[in-house]
Amino acid sequence: MKHVVVDPITRIEGHLRVEVSVDEASGKVTDAISSGTAWRGLEIIMKDRDPRDAWAYIQRVCGVCTTAHALASVRAVEDALGISIPKNANYVRNIMAATLTVQDHIVHFYHLHALDWVSPVEALAADPVATANLQNTVLATYKLPFRAPETSATEAFEHDYPAATPSYFAEIQAKVKAIVDSGKLGIFSAQWWDHPDFKILPPEVHLMAVAHYLEMLDKQRELVTPHVIFGGKNPHPHYVVGGMPCSVSLTDGNAPVNAARLGVVDRAINMGRSLINNYYLPDLLAIGHLYVKAGKVDGGGLAGTRVLGVGAYPLETYSATSDGGFFKDLLVRCNGVVENFKDGVANAVYSEISAEDLTSSDTLTEGVEHSWYSYPKDGDLHPWDGVTEPKFTGPKEGTGTEWKTLNEQGKYSWLKTPKWKGKVCEVGPLARYIIVYTKAKKGILGDLTWAEDMMVKQVEAVSQVLGVAPEVWLPTMVGRTAARALDGQLAAEINKYYFDKLVANLKSGDTTMANMSKWDPERWPAECKGVGLYEAPRGALQHWICIKNGKTANYQCVVPTTWNACPRDSKAGQGAYELAMMDTKVAVPDKPLEIAKVIRSFDPCMACATHMFNAKGERLGVMTTDPYSGTRMDKE
């Protein structure tokens, strides 16, 4: 039995450590630990602050998720204060959310996950002529032509289309060869390039994907232009409690958001559609198809047992969340829990998540049994009653700064353990697709929205490409990665859908962007509380706030990576990361590429860095993760 540590395991947003015990003879992972290794304490920072500023502070949880936390935060405060936002603000917020999803998924696949599948070293053996032919074959075979209905056609042709000439791929190959020959791999460093998994794909697939990796380094930055137009900047665009802080006019050329700038937004949205449909999805399906043919359908873990979602994209403005208004008119009704999907849709069990579940202390809770926190009493707490009191106990072996092994019997992570009715759940794009597909097939949704209909058709189209049923490929590492690509395509269409609704509403003469009727704290109740829900790129996100005498009395974030990367619980069992690792076979324990690959299929999003300051504001130290510093691996 070999004990293997990979720390950090993420290429960005470090501070995630995993430990696995591997049977060297069989490659089976017999136990796994997922540990969040940094704590920011933003919940404590929010104490006694103005709730109207919460989005600005809490958005700094992450520089990658960026607008996700701002949106959940303003929704939580608006729920507490009983504020309904204008139609335009709802449309813009949906555009901002869909924009983040498109860009985040593309960055994840190409720059955080692709190098677990493809190798620049293998690309050197490719034939550029054969690669050009492959590119055309991939586009003809793996494009999924799904579009939102009745959206406007504002481009005569697609501007972003993959090059498919031998000279192009020969040029890329020469650039990669120069990097490899130099011995300074730079962005291609910190990987086990001699791992047998890289032989699953032919060299031409490696060259094609590496070429697209390099292209996306430039292209992805243009996708977030809507955040700059509507929110003033990116990362961390601006919001306001009550709506959006941007003035808009179709007739005033001096308006902060005018017709010309809306045209820039439209071009960014169309670019997202092109990149998803012409690069991302075809690349993903070509690679995934070969993996499924090779029998690589492991890494599902908790996905086939239990997934959770909270719903996404309000069609129109709504009254409240904790009163149920949020759930009444959603474009994507993935609010709920599906259990046992791996046994087929007929045997899957669906449970709704309703307003009553949000407020119940028995439904959504967090525990700290194996987390470096302490609660005033044993048991789990509802987020409104949540306590963030750190209690670091150190590793089982090693020191506080040099860990050797963590204590799986005690506390070993800075993440809490979220639960639904006492059970751990997986969240994310995979969860959203399992929930909507199950609800649709069981007739629970009734008439499907166009987005839900598209999701069902996407799943069925991929099942046909892969030649296996949804319950076989979806709850796997390949399925988790594929669902993220499908979610990207859906978000690209949702982006265009809400942009057209925004423009139509502006043309009608309605330019209102914010409801300031309850901006003054004198109009607030003495005490109130709210919850903000959002299906972030990585899954179900919930922000919870308690307001007392105009100040934040308690603030708790239950984020997707907390759901997935949580430590085990003596009653609920192990979380999604730990079970996914235990459901993954490792070919070479000294080079656990499969473990890195399955964890990165979740797109982990830990805190970027932890900074420490003294009372004078002087920096004492910085703990950060350099994504290019390599992977440290300790073995016993």
**What are the phi and psi torsion angles at 418 (to 5°)?**
-70, 150
For position 618, what pLDDT does the model report?
41
pLDDT digits 0-9 by tens, 524-535: 999 999 999 999
Half-sphere exposure of 173 (CA within 13 A, CB side): 23
Confidence of residue 13 (pLDDT cuts 50, 70, 90): low
Residue 42 pLDDT exceeds 50:
yes
Name the least confident of 45-54, 62-71, 173-182.
62-71
Q: Cα separation of 299 and 52, whole Å?
A: 42
Burial class (CB in 10 A: 0-12, 13-18, 19+), 157: exposed
Residue 132 pLDDT exceeds 60:
yes
Cβ(7)–Cβ(632) below 8 Å: yes
Quote the crossing angle between the two packed helices 450-466 and 477-507, to the nearest 10°.
150
For position 606, what pLDDT does the model report?
63
Residue 190 pLDDT exceeds 80:
no
Confidence of residue 453 (pLDDT cuts 50, 70, 90): very high
DSSP 574: -
Cβ(389)–Cβ(374) below 8 Å: yes
Cβ(345)–Cβ(469) below 8 Å: no
Name the least confident of 35-49, 196-210, 446-460.
35-49
Greater pLDDT, 576 or 41: 576
| CA torsion angle 140 208 601 489 (round to 10) | -40
Q: In 117-221, where do the E strands start and end?
A: none
The CA–CA distances, whole Å, from 22 to 299, 409, 588, 635 equal 15, 18, 10, 11
Percent of the chain, pLDDT > 70?
95
- Tell me the β-bridge partners of 350: 338
**What are the phi and psi torsion angles at 552 (to 5°)?**
-75, 115
Contacts of 398 (CB under 8 A, 6+ apart): 404, 405
Contacts of 84 (CB under 8 A, 6+ apart): 78, 317, 318, 319, 515
pLDDT digits 0-9 by tens, 321-366: 999 999 999 999 999 999 999 999 999 999 999 999 999 999 999 9
Q: Cα separation of 458 and 71, whole Å?
A: 27
Contacts of 95 (CB under 8 A, 6+ apart): 226, 230, 265, 269, 495, 498, 499, 502
Handedness of CA 408, 600, 456, 317 (dihedral sign): positive
Confidence of residue 60 (pLDDT cuts 50, 70, 90): confident
Closest of 31, 5, 54, 14 to residue 543, by C-alpha:
54
Residue 63 pLDDT exceeds 50:
yes
Give the mean model confidence (pLDDT) for residues 95-117: 95
CA 303 distance to own-chain centroid: 15
Q: Cα separation of 436 and 202, whole Å?
A: 35
pLDDT digits 0-9 by tens, 24-33: 999 999 999 9
For position 40, what pLDDT does the model report?
74
Lookup: tokens for 77: 């405060």
* Average pLDDT, rounded, for the chain: 91
Contacts of 140 (CB under 8 A, 6+ apart): none
CATH architecture type of domain 2-150+163-361+422-506+521-635? Orthogonal Bundle (1.10)
Residue 617 pLDDT exceeds 60:
no
Give the mean model confidence (pLDDT) for residues 154-182: 91
Mapped to the 3 state alphabet, what secondary structure does 402-421 carry? CEEECCCCCCCECCCEEEEC
Closest of 575, 568, 282, 335 to residue 445, by C-alpha:
335
pLDDT digits 0-9 by tens, 357-403: 999 999 999 999 999 999 999 999 999 999 999 999 999 999 888 89
- Number of Cβ within 10 Å of residue 369's Cβ equals 19
Half-sphere exposure of 294 (CA within 13 A, CB side): 16
pLDDT digits 0-9 by tens, 239-267: 999 999 999 999 999 999 999 999 999 99
- Tell me the β-bridge partners of 332: 312
Domain boundaries, the chain: 2-150+163-361+422-506+521-635
Confidence of residue 278 (pLDDT cuts 50, 70, 90): very high
* Cis amide linkage into residue 235, ω under 30° from 0: yes
Q: Cα separation of 316 and 309, whole Å?
A: 20
pTM metric for this prediction: 0.93
Rg of the chain over all Cα atoms, to the nearest angstrom:
24
- Tell me the β-bridge partners of 19: 5, 33
Q: Transcribe 300-347 into DSSP letters.
A: -TTTTTEEEE--EEESS--S-STTSGGGTTEEE---EEEE-GGG-GGG
**By three-state DSSP, how is residue 367 classified?**
strand
Q: Cα separation of 216 and 111, whole Å?
A: 8
The residue written with tokens 């700059």 in the block is: 228
The residue written with tokens 């925004």 in the block is: 502
Name the least confident of 37-46, 287-296, 297-306.
37-46
Greater pLDDT, 84 or 159: 84
For position 605, what pLDDT does the model report?
79
For position 14, what pLDDT does the model report?
67
73-89 burial code (b ≥16 CB/10 A, e <16): bbbbbbbbbbbbbbbbb
For position 159, what pLDDT does the model report?
82
| Pairing relationship of beta strands 306-309 and 29-36 according to DSSP bridges | unpaired
